[in-house]
Amino acid sequence: MTDADAASGSVGVVLVAAGSGSRLGADKPKAFVPIDEDPILLHAIYAVHGVQEVAALAIVAPPEWLEAAQELVDLHLGCPCFTTRVVAGGAERTDSVRAGLAALPDDVDIILVHDAARALTPVEVFERVIDAVGAGAAGAVPGIPVVDTVKTVDDRGIITGTPDRSRLRAVQTPQGFLADVLRGAYAGGLTATDDAALVELAGHDVVVVEGDPLAFKITAPEDLDRAARLVAEGA
């Protein structure tokens, strides 16, 4: 595929929402925990709906919650602008992404993988990732500068190094890739903490584009409080 093909190509989104949310500690899987009247997953879907290039969405939900996820789609999102499929996730995030990839049509040119837990991610972040891949990058991920000094440590907690902070980025999602590149990286059967790592391991260059503090991941109860405040303020 040429760069021009990618630039004009369609985008598929894998929205991973199959985690249990153990650190949030709610009585249901994290994606179904409300921020305001709407659950985390619905806020995440709203964000995807704001992205014009999207042609297909695969929502990956916990196996017991497929119907609940489908209901959210049906009740609130009669949008005919792209196809949406709800599929069951797996034990690890990597398994869930793999399930989502299998549910996307073969003909999407660019695939974004996005954490539903980053429910308030602005549309501009999606656009920056899509634009970078459309402009010829194999992959693009949003990142923000690291404010703390970061140390590496050994097994005893003794500091072994202090990486140059100006070279560090805290990366977020959506992470976007040429579809063939991402599918190829996942075919290797490896696991990693983010999708870019698998693509890096496969030997491709992945660029960092500007992220956004609003793309934070709802992980602990205080993150949910922060999200609720932001939504009340109109985020």
Of 16-24, 97-105, 126-134, 152-160: span binding Mg ion (CB under 5 A): 16-24
When computed from its CA atoms, the radius of gyration of the chain, rounded to whole angstroms, is 18
* Closer residue to Mg ion (CB): 53 or 194: 194
Residues 208, 175: contact at Cβ < 8 Å? no
* Closer residue to Mg ion (CB): 84 or 96: 96
Residues forming a β-bridge with 169: 145
The residue number whose beta carbon is nearest to Mg ion equals 19
Minimum CB separation of residue 17 from ligand CTP in Å reads: 5
* Closer residue to ligand CTP (CB): 178 or 224: 224
Residues that bind ligand CTP (CB under 6 A): 16-23, 30-31, 60, 89-93, 96, 115-117, 217, 219
Burial class (CB in 10 A: 0-12, 13-18, 19+), 19: buried
DSSP-assigned states of every residue in 58-120: EEEE-GGGHHHHHHHHHHH---TTSEEEEEE--SSHHHHHHHHHHHS-TT-SEEEEEETTSTT
Residues 177, 133: contact at Cβ < 8 Å? yes
Minimum CB separation of residue 116 from Mg ion in Å reads: 12
Minimum CB separation of residue 82 from ligand CTP in Å reads: 20
Of 19-27, 77-85, 108-116, 173-181: span binding Mg ion (CB under 5 A): 19-27
Minimum CB separation of residue 19 from Mg ion in Å reads: 5
